[in-house]
Homo-oligomer: A and B are copies of this chain.
Amino acid sequence: MLQLKKKYCKFCGKDAIVYIGYANLGLCREHFIRFYENRIRKMLEKHRISGSLMVCVSGGKDSMSLLTAIKRISEDTDLDVYAFHINLGIPNYSDECESIVKGYAKQLLVPTIVSNLKKDIGFSLPEIISVSRKPPCAACGIVRRWIINKTAYELGFDFVATGHNIDDASTFFLKALMTQDYYSILRGQWEFLEPKKNYRLVGRIRPQFYLSERENMLYAQLNNIPIVDKPCPYSLRATIHKYKKAWSTLLEINPVSQINLTKTLMKLRKMMTIEEPMLYQCKNCGYPTENPNGICSFCRLISRVNKTLHNNS
């Protein structure tokens, strides 16, 4: 996994179990866990996250590690942690995810909120995808963002935390650069977004924004965190994975390249004179949208699904 280029732990001199390339740091088991949790703690402190926090947990290594770290951090802070899971209704996949998340959250003594797509909005993800003209991951993203925000807003959370990592952010930018996708570059990536209560928009934080998938996986392994170890069947088709794999070549040249690319594009974006997109309230659901016509992308998607599957307009 993580290449071992430093033999000894920087902090205690014990045998290192991991080499963190971007920091040129060898770490033993104990100090890696401390290093990892400190990174997350600092991100929460930087953005002054306190009180009730809803952690979105899919069951994968990133979000399960995030839940674990935040739960531990909450023990000596005033954080009040809740797990939130969405059962997407994918056969041979979603029920297992729900069961692993619920079981582990119970073990951590973290209260869990579960949304079941089929029960709560009337359609499973496979049904939505069968009708949507968007790529599966794009449709799923629209649905998940809407449900996460609505649930957190209705339950009175100021912030939700998600398990996005530096592989996600840097690959988003890499793909956008390699495909002349200006829209994505200008839209950008972020570690933190303020809540906008008058638009029913809950604040969002990505505490693992500068942590890699490999660090999240190692943290999960070292802490015996159960994870869903098979990928979502829809994600296999996504082209983004091809770009994610290119990082092994680029990280070998420069182990800081993912962090550098992400920071560079975030800084370049700040140097551009771009107006922030206007927010409107969706005329249908009341949640925020950038669509000036007043119908959010979730409601447009569900309306198409409704028309096609129920054959009623």
Q: Which residues of A contact B (CB under 8 A)?
A: 176-180, 182, 185, 242-243, 246, 249-250, 253-254, 257, 260-261, 263-265, 267-268, 271-274
Contact = CB atoms under 8 A, between A and B. Distances in A.
A254 B242 CA distance: 9
Contacts of A261: 177-178
Contacts of A263: 180
Contacts of A249: 246, 249
B268 A272 contact: yes
A261 to B, nearest CB: 5
B178 A257 contact: yes
A237 to B, nearest CB: 15
A267 B185 CA distance: 12
Given A178-B253, A178-B261, A185-B268, 17 more contacts: A176-B264, A177-B260, A177-B265, A178-B250, A179-B254, A179-B257, A180-B260, A180-B263, A180-B264, A182-B268, A243-B253, A246-B246, A268-B268, A271-B272, A271-B273, A271-B274, A272-B273
The list of the 3 closest CB pairs from A to B, nearest first, reads A178-B257, A249-B249, A180-B260
A121 B265 CA distance: 42
A246 B179 CA distance: 17
A179 B259 CA distance: 9
Indicate the member of A182, A185, A257 with the most B CB atoms within 10 Å. Answer: A257
Contacts of A182: 264, 267-268
A177 B253 contact: no
Nearest to A265: B177
Indicate the member of A178, A249, A272, A273 with the most B CB atoms within 10 Å. Answer: A178
